[in-house]
Amino acid sequence: MIRLAVDGMGGDNAPEQIVKGVLLALEKFDNLEILLYGDEKKMAPFLRNHNRLKVIHTDKYLDMGEKDPVGQLRKNKDASMFLAMRAVKEKEADAIVSAGPTQALVVASHMIIKRMPQMRRVAIAPIIPSITNKKRILLDSGANVDLKPEHLLDFAVYASVVAKSLLHIENPKVGLLNIGTEPGKGRELDVQTFELLSNTKEINFYGNVEPKEILDSEADILLSDGFTANIAMKTMEGTAKSLGKVLKKELTNSFFKKLIVGLFLRKSLKAFKQTLDPNEIGGAMIAGLQNIVVKAHGSSNAYAFYNGIRQAKELVEADVIGKVTKLLEKNEETV
């Protein structure tokens, strides 16, 4: 049995979509138990009794715009996210899933669950969309603005285990996000990281990847520091959003076109939109902690949150943390 702690009050659509996602997951998976932390009164309209669901009441939670997570950890100890996290720390649950504010989740994970001793930094690692069915892991997507090559190596090892266990890719290719494909391109960090990754047997280094290929590269893992990868992620988001607007305007600027769109193209346009919809993808891991922490997208609907739960469950089942620990220990011995 896998037991997950869920923050019932995190996310723009909490608690309704969170509760619905939880019930969906319990239906789908027989080997899943959920501890749900949140305001019982607010969750009640959407809740059903379930023998593998336990609700733990708290009327405290974090605001989605929370800017001072450290202060909150001190003043707002009983917030749903923090209670769920402590349950994991105290081994009452195997992993936590929250759609709450990212920085709060990263900070609280650091302070409550703590880093694996073998990982020198913690990374945000979302699975990013693609134009085929191929999924890719992009990290660090925003936890650390300053990183060293050794940190990126840790991330590469972690993400390789996840790609193998969760995405079922036999020998996942690790690409370094860079401004050119040749070795020697980029900043000092990129040149040194290229060198280090080339000489590490634990991963399958693919080389530099230009962001022109960010949605259709052969690499399964895209690696950079938390500033650069965050810039790339937000640029994808912005470009997709803006092109969607152009397209919508172009396709609906006459009654006749509207009719055609309505009759024939609705499905096509939906597929286009879904390509970059975070709800289709699931959550981001906070990689490098002593337990699995999954951050579901802030705008998660029930299905997206269910995907986040599924992801946390699969990461626990695959013993990702155990496998990473072994690989990094081995790596330290050979260095």
192-198 contacts at long range (C-beta below 8 A, 24 or more positions apart): 192/149, 193/149, 193/152, 193/153, 193/223, 195/149, 196/149, 196/150, 196/152, 196/153, 197/152, 197/153, 197/156, 197/223
Which of residues 184 and 322 has its CB atom nearest to a copy of itself in the complex? 184
CB of 242 to a copy of itself, least distance (A): 4
| DSSP symbol at 320 | H
Residues that bind a copy of itself (CB under 8 A): 67, 131, 142, 145-146, 177, 179, 182, 186-188, 210-216, 226-228, 230-232, 234-243, 245-247, 250-251, 253, 256-257, 260, 264-265, 268-269, 271-272, 275-276
**Distance in Å, CB of 148 to a copy of itself, minimum:** 14
Nearer to a copy of itself, 200 or 299 (CB): 299
Query: d(Cα 18, Cα 137) in Å, to the nearest integer?
Result: 24
Which residue is listed with tokens 């693609």?
A: 130
Closer of 259 and 335 to a copy of itself (Cβ): 259
Closest approach, Cβ 85 to a copy of itself, in A, equals: 23
Backbone phi, then psi, for 49, in 5-degree steps?
Answer: -70, 140
Shortest Å distance, C-beta 214 to a copy of itself:
5
Closest among 53, 55, 69 to 9, alpha carbons compared: 55
Closer to a copy of itself by CB, 28 or 234: give it. Answer: 234
DSSP single-letter state for residue 212: G
- Identify which of residues 48 and 245 has a Cβ nearer to a copy of itself in the complex: 245
Per-residue tokens: 158? 């972690």
Smallest distance, a copy of itself to C-beta of residue 152, A = 15
Tokens of 125: 């690692």
**Which amino acid type is present at position 69?**
P
Nearer to a copy of itself, 167 or 240 (CB): 240
Closest CB to a copy of itself among residues 124, 302 = 124
Q: Taking the complex as a whole, how short is the minimal distance between the CB of residue 308 and a copy of itself, in angstroms?
A: 21
Q: How far is the CB of 262 from a copy of itself (least distance, A)?
A: 12
Smallest separation, CB 208 to a copy of itself (Å): 12
Query: Could you tell me how many helices (H) and strands (E) the chain has, helices first?
Result: 12, 11
Within the chain, strands assigned E span: 2-7, 32-38, 53-57, 95-98, 123-128, 136-139, 173-177, 204-209, 221-223, 284-287, 292-295
Q: Which is nearer to a copy of itself, 70 or 260 (CB)?
A: 260
The whole-angstrom separation of Cα 2 and Cα 18 is: 19
SS (H, E, C) 243-267: HHHHHHHHHCCCHHHHHHHHHHHHH
**Alpha-carbon span 261 to 281, nearest angstrom:** 26
Nearer to a copy of itself, 50 or 273 (CB): 273
State the nearest-atom distance from the C-beta of 118 to a copy of itself, in Å: 26
